[in-house]
């Protein structure tokens, strides 16, 4: 079972990907994690990716797909995987499909966690992070015992720059322009499934489980 998670930043697709991974025993394959692992281990693909990243450039689609295919060729992925953070654009999806077709493989499900922009802005601007231990909270959904103070280590909490409303709006604009077209792309392929991401995360997960059943 090969699953791609779709959804805007802050829609909760990463959380759902982890829950799917645990329930079905499938590796949660995050492109960010793969890049970091390749760079840390000094692989040839990692060295190549690092050149682009050090120059502040995006890693080209072909190289990203190479790194991804290298990861999903490992033994733990033989029964499938949950892809999180890739593809982000139509060209990336096309390169991935071509590579999978050559392996006699394909994507089984593209699950879109659908959340309106307004909800995402409210959700993300309520996040707080600990400056010391990195623990994360939410002023509404996961508040601390003492406002503005970390439950774990007693340090101060901050609103990270990438969670500020103006930053979130910019990220959503990029998402709608680059990534949202993937919804139509996978719909045409007959593998798209949509779930309502505005409800409790366990309800979202139950909807996904009923799709995968």
Please give the positions annotated as active site. Answer: 13, 88, 127, 160, 171
What tokens were used for 93? 């999806």
Q: In this structure, how many other beta carbons lie within 10 angstroms of the beta carbon of residue 153?
A: 12
* Residues 145, 148, 152, 154, CA torsion sign: negative
The SS3 call for residue 30 is strand
Query: 83 has which bridge partners?
Result: 4, 29
User: Whole-angstrom Cα distance, residue 173 to residue 57?
Assistant: 20
Residue 100's nearest CA partner among 113, 114, 86 is 86
The SS3 call for residue 19 is helix
């Amino acid at each position: 079972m090969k699953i791609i998670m779709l959804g805007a930043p802050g829609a909760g697709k990463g959380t759902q990907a982890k829950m799917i991974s645990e329930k079905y025993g499938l590796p949660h394959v995050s492109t960010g994690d793969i890049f970091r692992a390749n760079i840390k281990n000094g692989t040839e693909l990692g060295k190549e990716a690092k050149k682009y990243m050090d120059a502040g450039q995006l890693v080209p689609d072909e190289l990203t797909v190479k790194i991804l295919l290298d990861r999903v060729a490992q033994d733990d992925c033989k029964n499938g995987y949950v892809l999180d953070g890739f593809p982000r654009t139509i060209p990336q999806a096309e390169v991935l499909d071509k590579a999978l077709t050559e392996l006699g493989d394909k994507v089984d499900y593209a699950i879109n966690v659908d959340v309106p922009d307004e909800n995402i802005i409210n959700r993300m601007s309520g996040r707080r992070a600990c400056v010391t231990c990195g623990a994360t909270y939410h002023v509404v959904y996961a508040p601390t015992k003492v406002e503005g103070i970390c439950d774990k280590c007693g340090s101060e909490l901050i609103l990270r720059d990438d969670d500020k409303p103006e930053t979130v709006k910019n990220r959503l604009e990029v998402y709608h322009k680059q990534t949202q077209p993937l919804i139509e792309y996978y719909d045409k392929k007959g593998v798209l499934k949509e779930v309502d991401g505005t409800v409790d995360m366990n309800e979202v997960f139950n909807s996904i489980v009923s799709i995968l059943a």
